[in-house]
A and B are shown apart, each in its own frame.
Chain A
Amino acid sequence: MLSLDVHLRRGGFARHVRIEEDARIVALVGPSGAGKTTVLNAIAGLLRPQSGRIEVDGRVLYDSARGIDLPVHRRQVGYVFQDARLFPHLDVRGNLLYGRHGARGQERRFELDTVVDLLGIGALLGRRTANLSGGEAQRVAIGRALLSQPAILLLDEPLSALDEARRRELIPWLLRVRDATRLPMLYVSHHAGEVRQLADAVHRLE
């Protein structure tokens, strides 16, 4: 599902990263500073590699040799950030529905009611984002990403900002998303337990 071969340079950091994975749920692991988030950002288009090629599920997102560099908003990449990044000026429903323009003329796989049920966030819909717990915010962030009709879900250590109890609470929800949506997922983590439970394959960055 992911074919990535890029040269990354960011400040003093220069890496050649190659990932070839057919598995649907891939965990990206490695020590701090190895560049896991950088790889996610390159796939999302938030960061331009020096050169290389990125292909997701048969769609070429970036190919320096052929001059292809899709802008971020056209890549159909659902990104769940470590810090949720919910929009403070919108309520939960407003956040969830923000990406609904994301897939024009395309088959809509995810609708609000389905996603709300999947993540158990029905009671939160009218709330302001400042009044959500860490776990609730992450579930809303996942729902928001799903509702933008992505072709792949990128998750950047979504549980690391949470305490142990919240983490244990959230893992079942992640498993539900994995099983119910059949979406390819690239999951960055340095928590072995999460990785074991969620992933079909593990790619290690040194």
Chain B
Amino acid sequence: MKVASKKPEIRVEDLSIVTLGDFNPKIFHPMWFAKEDLLRESEADEARIEVVHQDVAAFSTDWLTVQVLRDRFTASVKADAYSSHLSDLVRGTFQKLRHTPVRQMGMNVLRRVRFKTEEDWHALGHFILPKSPWDRVTSKPGLRSVHVQGQRSDDHAGYVLIIIEPDPKTKSDVLIRVNDHYELGESDQGLEGADGVVAIIERGHKESVARASATVDRLIMNFLNTKAPDKAK
């Protein structure tokens, strides 16, 4: 007998590219993106601007969210359909700002796994976090968040981080985030700074998204093939 009665639905929740470095948020106005032909003019005109300030810039368009702090740049979309346009925008941004100091980057995929029953939702928790080690340690142990770090399968410095969190409001959904993390400047491939961001996106954003999706699929498949959950007594 398998652990879950039905295969859950897995869908895109969010795709983002995040870089850590030294930024000047006030230049990241939507009109700058339009002027550099990274965004449509009409999108820049109609963008919902939260703030553009020397410490923080934040705006969104129909399909994209951009947020820049002094040490972090984030661009994200909620639909797979815009994945290639997200990568074009970030790649183009850092190609134009190639002297920006950037130390790390992450290409991130967030998937929402929706189970048909609450029992199946709990069963995933038991699968990820077996309950017998918690016997007599605490009562009713429950999974809130699990971070698992894995090695990269390529030569880049960095790692892959998988974060699993239930969505307690729904009692059916689990959010699984895969962070494809790169350290820039430390690998023998010499990918440094903004040039490194551009090179990594150019070479592998599409593959990174595909790998992340495959990771989530594999994890769920492993779960579905499990015979019996390890529940608390």
> Is the A/B pair a real complex?
no
Which residues from chain B sit less than 8 Å from chain A, CB to CB?
Answer: none
Which residues from chain A sit less than 8 Å from chain B, CB to CB?
Answer: none
